């Protein structure tokens, strides 16, 4: 249990789902996840990955899940000549691919920078593939209905970035779910790593504050109003917050017999996934018993263009990350 919490909770707000799912599946209860059981499209059996003209055999028995944290729940669809334009205001602010090697009992969390510049697919007004654009990875979710199609588009973009590595499933949760999770565990104490008073006047460097839901969302999401407004700095704050959240959630789980029911009731309004309750239960069990490797990311160069950050990948660094997780 400790390993799965350490990984998932330091990666995304999906940790609350994992707490609830594990407890609920032990009781044999169903997990109400929107779009559950709808398989991903377009993925064939892949036995190798290619890098610089060389094929590398893949490990057998891999199971992969893309965790997607989006910045809004708002959807935008306008009528264009009688059909819906597949575009929404949401972006994938958080992306992490969990690669489970079931034969070796190893798990590899691969953290992806949302500002990574790559070829992102876009959908036309009929919701069909319309081509690619070179832009930030987070914008893959921006194309689509803000739901399943946006999740699938994000899966496609991440797979393409990672040398066409196959991805089996996704779990998506809007970042607005942070406040819900925070308040369910009675608030989360955090010691401010720097002066963040521009977010909240109480966020003075060194101050320890038990964050309420609104403050928690501000703490983990704020970026543009800060002096250090890079996504890398925000990711560090997210890890700090979620380390503390893990302890609070564990306490709530152990002291409140109704905690998991409350959690699922709240989160079921937010979560989207293509996984069934049985699939999620199996995945959680495997991950909980696995030898979880340190979180891996990749190197690159951060630039500013048109007032936006762009992260240009070091391809060799990216390949080493993918190779370790996927290849023999």
Q: Where are the domains of the chain?
A: 31-176+270-326, 177-269
Residue 298 in contact with residue 313, Cβ under 8 Å? yes
Helix (H, G, I), strand (E, B) or coil at 325: helix
pLDDT in tens, 228-276: 778 778 877 877 887 788 788 778 877 887 776 677 677 667 778 888 7
> What pLDDT sits at residue 44?
55
Minimum mean pLDDT among 39-48, 119-128, 170-179, 188-197: which range?
39-48
Stronger pLDDT, 22 or 165, i.e. the higher one: 165
Tell which residue, 195, 169, 184, has the closest CA to residue 275: 169
132: which residues sit within 8 A by CB, 6+ positions away?
Answer: 119, 120, 121, 122
Confidence of residue 72 (pLDDT cuts 50, 70, 90): low
Q: Using CB atoms within 10 A of its CB, is residue 325 exposed (0-12), middle (13-18) or buried (19+)?
A: buried
Q: What residues contact 119, with CB distance under 8 A and at least 6 apart?
A: 132, 133, 134, 157, 160
Calpha distance 121→104 (Å, rounded): 34
Q: Domain 31-176+270-326: give its CATH code.
A: 3.30.420.590
Nearest to 256 by CA among 155, 164, 156, 186: 186
* Structure tokens belonging to residue 29: 């209860």
Give residue 60's pLDDT: 94
Instruction: Give CA angle at 203 (202, 206), nearest 5°.
Output: 115
Residue in 266, 267, 264 with CA at minimum distance from that of residue 24: 264
Q: What is the pLDDT of residue 19?
A: 47
Sign of CA dihedral 4, 10, 15, 19: positive
Structure confidence at residue 141 (pLDDT):
93
Q: How confident is the model at residue 11 (pLDDT cuts 50, 70, 90)?
A: very low
Q: What is the mean pLDDT of residues 162-174?
A: 92
CA distances from 152 to 6, 139, 158 (A): 27, 13, 10
Q: Reply yes or no on whether the pLDDT at 154 is more than 60.
A: yes
Which parts of 256-314 fold into alpha helices (H)?
259-267, 277-289
Backbone Cα Rg of the chain = 19
User: Higher model confidence: residue 268 or residue 113?
Assistant: 113
Q: What is the mean pLDDT of residues 121-127?
A: 83
Nearest CA among 177, 180, 179, 181 for reference residue 272: 177
Rounded CA-CA distance 52/115 in Å is 24
Helix (H, G, I), strand (E, B) or coil at 68: strand
Supply 129's token pair: 């593939």
CATH 3.40.630.190 fits 177-269, yes or no: yes
Average pLDDT for the chain = 80
> DSSP letters of 41-58?
SSPPP--EEEETTEEEEB
Separation of alpha carbons 141 and 150, rounded Å: 5
The whole-number pLDDT of residue 2 equals: 40
Read off the tokens for 252: 């709530």
3-state secondary structure of 185: coil
Cβ-based neighbour number of residue 190 at 10 Å: 22
pLDDT for res 4: 42
Percent of the chain past pLDDT 70, that is, above it, reads: 79
Can you give the pLDDT at residue 242?
73
Is the pLDDT at 8 greater than 50? The verdict is no
pLDDT in tens, 254-267: 788 777 667 767 76
More confident residue, 51 or 226: 51
Confidence of residue 281 (pLDDT cuts 50, 70, 90): low
Q: What is the DSSP string of 103-160?
A: TTTEEEEEEE-TTBEEEEEEE-TTSSEEEEEEEEGGGGTTBSSSSHHHHHHHHHHHHH
């Amino acid at each position: 249990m400790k390993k799965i919490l350490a990984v998932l909770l330091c990666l995304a707000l999906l940790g609350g789902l994992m707490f609830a799912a594990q407890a609920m599946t032990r009781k044999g209860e169903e997990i109400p996840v929107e779009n559950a059981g709808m398989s991903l499209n377009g993925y064939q059996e892949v036995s190798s990955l290619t890098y610089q003209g060389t094929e590398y055999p893949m490990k057998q028995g891999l199971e992969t899940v893309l965790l997607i944290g989006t910045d809004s729940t708002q959807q935008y669809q306008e009528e264009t000549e009688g059909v819906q334009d597949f575009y929404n205001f949401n972006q994938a602010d958080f992306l992490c691919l969990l690669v489970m090697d079931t034969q070796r009992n190893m798990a590899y969390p691969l953290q992806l920078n949302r500002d990574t510049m790559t070829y992102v697919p876009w959908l036309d007004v009929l919701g069909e593939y319309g081509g690619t654009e070179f832009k930030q990875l987070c914008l893959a979710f921006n194309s689509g209905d803000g739901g399943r199609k946006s999740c699938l588009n994000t899966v496609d973009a991440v797979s393409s970035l990672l040398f066409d590595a196959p991805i089996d499933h996704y779990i998506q949760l809007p970042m607005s779910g942070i406040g819900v999770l925070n308040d369910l565990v009675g608030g989360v104490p955090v010691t401010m790593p720097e002066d963040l008073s521009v977010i909240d006047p109480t966020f003075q460097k060194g101050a320890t504050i038990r964050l309420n839901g609104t403050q928690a969302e501000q703490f983990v999401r704020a970026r543009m109003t800060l002096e250090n407004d890079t996504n890398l700095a925000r990711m560090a704050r997210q890890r700090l917050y979620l380390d503390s959240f893990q302890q609070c959630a564990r306490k709530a789980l152990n002291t409140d017999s109704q905690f998991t029911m409350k959690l699922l009731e709240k989160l079921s309004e937010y979560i989207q996934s293509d996984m069934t309750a049985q699939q999620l239960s199996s995945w959680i069990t495997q991950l909980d018993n696995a030898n979880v490797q340190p979180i891996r990311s990749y190197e690159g160069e951060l630039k500013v263009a048109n007032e936006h950050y762009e992260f240009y990948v070091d391809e060799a660094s990216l390949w080493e990350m993918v190779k370790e997780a996927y290849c023999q």
